[in-house]
Structure 1
Amino acid sequence: MTWRTVFSNGGKADEMMRTIAIAGVGEMGVALARRMIAQGQHVVTFPPRSAASVERARQAGIEIVAEDEIGGADFFFSVVPSEAAAPLAERVASICRSHARKPVYCEWNAISPGKLQCIADRLAAAGMTLIDGGIIGLANWSVDTPGPTLYASGPAAGLLAEVGDLGLQITVMDAGLGAASALKLSYAAITKGLIAIATMAAIAAQRKQCDESLTAELARSQSGLLDSFSKSVPNMLPKAQRWTSEMAEISDYLGADSQAGMIYAAIAKVFGQIATSVDTRDFLACAYRVRPEGQCCANALRG
């Protein structure tokens, strides 16, 4: 593969400006784009669907280009909700199929290895190269902090190491396609699974009027857990709908018909219920706050 020859950092041949196309100008996509732009990279996207997304892209310094121009990028970063990953790959494959030069497709979404393989097949049919990826960490917009870690696997993953500094923390795994996706889902099964357990326990305790006692006991015997839940449970609330599809991917990864898979299918339903219930979200926003004795959460669940 031939790269553009715009040099930086003392003229090293692997330190060039790249054009990175990105789809998904939500919180994580914009955070990654800001970091790459701060490092001198050229980041583009095709026209977002909403006016809010257009404004987000412009404020981040992302150039909005015609859909057909995506084929001229060096890399294509897919950073979308799990359920949108396969349709996006099909769309990009269709755009790039007739191009002589095609971007390397980086699939960063929380998807099962099985879905990744389907995407790999679609892209291969269009003559495109795929890198399997998984993002672990928060979408921190500040370029002064390390930011999330991007794990990459598959035969082409080394291309990300060869291109120099994109302004991202990228770890290239010595493993095949599916490894980075599996790592992401295994990690999410632990971290988001714990948040789901805390959520279900809080709801059940409130309904039996022992939620204050639960919080007090956690403060006494498990202060680290309480401190974590007091932040992670409220932070989950605006993401509950997205986490629904991510839990479904974990279920597929573990085996939908296995006991482990069925646990995460049930957790997907829990997050789905949270996403659609204002009362539940209001209660969970304060469920793990330590309150003075006798003071209840103002947003107690009814019924």
Structure 2
Amino acid sequence: MADQQQQLDNRYLPTVAILTPGEMGTGIGIMLRHYGYTVATQLHGRSEYTVTRARDAQFHCYPSDEDIIAECTYVFSIVPPAEAISTARRIAEAAVSFASTAIAPEHPPAPLYFLDLNATSPATARAIAALFNGINIQLANNPAGRKIVFVDGAIIGGPPKLDPHNGEWFKPNIMLSGPLKLSLTAFNEHDDATTLVETEEDDGEVLERVLGVKWVGNEIGQASGVKMCFASLTKGLTALAIESFTTAASLGLLKPLQDQLAEKTPLISSFVNNAIVQMPPKAYRWVGEMEEIADTFHEEGGFDKTIYQGTAEVFRTINEDTELGRERTGLRTRGKTVEDVTTLLAEGMKHRRERLSRAATAVDPSASKTNPKLAEALSGLNIAEEK
């Protein structure tokens, strides 16, 4: 049966909050709304671009995080990696604030499930879990306090999209891990009249099915670990391709390089040519993701951080030193071809080298532009270096 024929009765569905609605969060929210869920967010301090996107997606906008604590059953954190901990702290602080002023309910309130779906390291996931454990202990004796259940999560793939021809959704892989599954939310724990109609599924089981969730383990950090290891290959390869293609373009050899890749490694050729063009609007988020990968491989695998700190710098340069850093999905003007991406990157790298050279000269006036390889080659010979 096509997905469009499987919409649920929204009178019996809990509300899902998405923090904050970027491209991925908005896509997931639109899919949930298609199935009948109420999707909410909180937009205080967000950019006009984000506010417009959330309103266009018809998300309900709460005035405060305390409203999310009061009204929602699930909170999805889908933010740039660098904001993962601060976003969790926001919800933790709101839970304490809400419990301090709320009237104690007749029955203990249902738990609030916090799904961290960010591209962060297992260590970051465990730190956030510890934060919520501390909040739960703090609120244990407050009858209005809601227990927060932390679920480690990760997303692999692009945002959900509805195929208008067959009514089915393309969905990314959403992986979760942790000791408690969503099916334990017990939305109807104290009131059998609010059970889902014509189904024996708990509301959490329904949400898992709608999202296409894959559980990868019962430990916090396992879902994040899969994401880190996967992204190290895909986005790491993209970073390598960016350096390779940009250097080839500077040498006037981009086309011969692409021809060789297409002939010898067609699958890699197809992947990197597409990835380079799709990358610009995401570069700012990938900086933090590469840093999280560096931490993961160091803390969990024992490797040096050098490789992925270097890939982080590739994406940082794109975001901060080129016009590509201003690109946003749906509003693209530059970098829509490999040739344009590499042209802009070559210009950005030139400006970056000049900036670093000026900084080095300011510190050490004796610093010169002498080519060390040329100096080595001519060492001991009575040949003047070409200027």
TM-score range normalised by the length of the shorter chain:
0.7 to 0.9
The secondary structure found in structure 2 opposite 1:255 is: helix
Alpha carbons of 1:285 and 1:164: their partners in 2 closer, same or farther (altered >3 Å)?
same
CA contact (8 A) 2:76 2:115 kept: yes
CA contact (8 A) 1:233 1:284 kept: no
Equivalent residue for 1:268?
A: 312
Equivalent residue for 1:195?
A: 238
Quick one: which amino acid aligns to residue 265 of structure 2?
A: Q
Equivalent residue for 2:120?
A: 111
Greater displacement, 154-163 / 62-71? 154-163
After TM superposition, give the deviation of residue 210 of structure 1 in Å.
Answer: 2.5
After TM superposition, give the deviation of residue 10 of structure 1 in Å.
Answer: 9.7
Rounded Cα–Cα distance in structure 2 between residues aligned with 1:51 and 1:301: 31
Quick one: which amino acid aligns to residue 69 of structure 1?
A: D
Equivalent residue for 1:232?
A: 275
Greater displacement, 82-91 / 159-168? 159-168
Provide Cα deviations, 1:194-214, integer angstroms capped at 9, x if missing partner. Answer: 111111111222233322221
Equivalent residue for 1:136?
A: 156
Provide Cα deviations, 1:89-116, integer angstroms capped at 9, x if missing partner. Answer: 0110010124374521111001111111
Alpha carbons of 1:93 and 1:145: their partners in 2 closer, same or farther (altered >3 Å)?
same
Provide Cα deviations, 1:115-140, integer angstroms capped at 9, x if missing partner. Answer: 11111111112112100000111013
For structure 1, the residue ranges without an aligned partner over 5 or more in a row are 1-7, 290-296
Matched, 1:301 2:346: yes
Alignment size in residue pairs: 286
Return the TM-score normalized by structure 2: 0.67
Rounded Cα–Cα distance in structure 2 between residues aligned with 1:185 and 1:113: 9
Equivalent residue for 2:42?
A: 46
Equivalent residue for 1:61?
A: 58
CA contact (8 A) 1:39 1:165 kept: no
CA contact (8 A) 2:155 2:172 kept: yes
Rounded Cα–Cα distance in structure 2 between residues aligned with 1:141 and 1:284: 21
CA contact (8 A) 1:185 1:250 kept: yes
Rounded Cα–Cα distance in structure 1 between residues aligned with 2:183 and 2:337: 43
Q: 2:134 aligns with which of 121, 125, 130?
A: 125
After TM superposition, give the deviation of residue 40 of structure 1 in Å.
Answer: 1.0
Rounded Cα–Cα distance in structure 1 between residues aligned with 2:57 and 2:320: 31
Root-mean-square deviation (CA, aligned residues, Å) is 2.8
CA contact (8 A) 2:291 2:309 kept: yes
The secondary structure found in structure 1 opposite 2:159 is: coil
Rounded Cα–Cα distance in structure 1 between residues aligned with 2:90 and 2:13: 26
Rounded Cα–Cα distance in structure 2 between residues aligned with 1:158 and 1:71: 17
Q: Identity of counterpart residues, as a percentage?
A: 27
For structure 2, the residue ranges without an aligned partner over 5 or more in a row are 1-5, 100-107, 137-147, 185-200, 326-333, 351-387
The secondary structure found in structure 2 opposite 1:126 is: helix
CA contact (8 A) 2:8 2:36 kept: no
Equivalent residue for 2:360?
A: none
CA contact (8 A) 2:20 2:42 kept: no
Rounded Cα–Cα distance in structure 2 between residues aligned with 1:199 and 1:246: 17
Greater displacement, 255-264 / 131-140? 255-264
Alpha carbons of 1:301 and 1:16: their partners in 2 closer, same or farther (altered >3 Å)?
same
Structure of higher CA gyration radius: 2
Quick one: which amino acid aligns to residue 157 of structure 1?
A: K
The secondary structure found in structure 2 opposite 1:132 is: strand
Return the TM-score normalized by structure 1: 0.85
Quick one: which amino acid aligns to residue 80 of structure 2?
A: P
The secondary structure found in structure 2 opposite 1:301 is: helix
Rounded Cα–Cα distance in structure 2 between residues aligned with 1:54 and 1:121: 31
The secondary structure found in structure 2 opposite 1:269 is: helix
Equivalent residue for 1:35?
A: 31
Provide Cα deviations, 1:160-191, integer angstroms capped at 9, x if missing partner. Answer: 79423333111122331000000111110111
Equivalent residue for 1:18?
A: 14
CA contact (8 A) 1:226 1:288 kept: no
Rounded Cα–Cα distance in structure 2 between residues aligned with 1:233 and 1:266: 17
Greater displacement, 250-259 / 163-172? 250-259
Provide Cα deviations, 1:141-172, integer angstroms capped at 9, x if missing partner. Answer: 32632311111100123437942333311112
Alpha carbons of 1:231 and 1:195: their partners in 2 closer, same or farther (altered >3 Å)?
same
Equivalent residue for 1:278?
A: 322
Matched, 1:71 2:65: no
After TM superposition, give the deviation of residue 225 of structure 1 in Å.
Answer: 1.9
Rounded Cα–Cα distance in structure 1 between residues aligned with 2:36 and 2:7: 11
Rounded Cα–Cα distance in structure 1 between residues aligned with 2:336 and 2:232: 20
CA contact (8 A) 1:279 1:301 kept: no
After TM superposition, give the deviation of residue 280 of structure 1 in Å.
Answer: 7.7
After TM superposition, give the deviation of residue 275 of structure 1 in Å.
Answer: 1.4
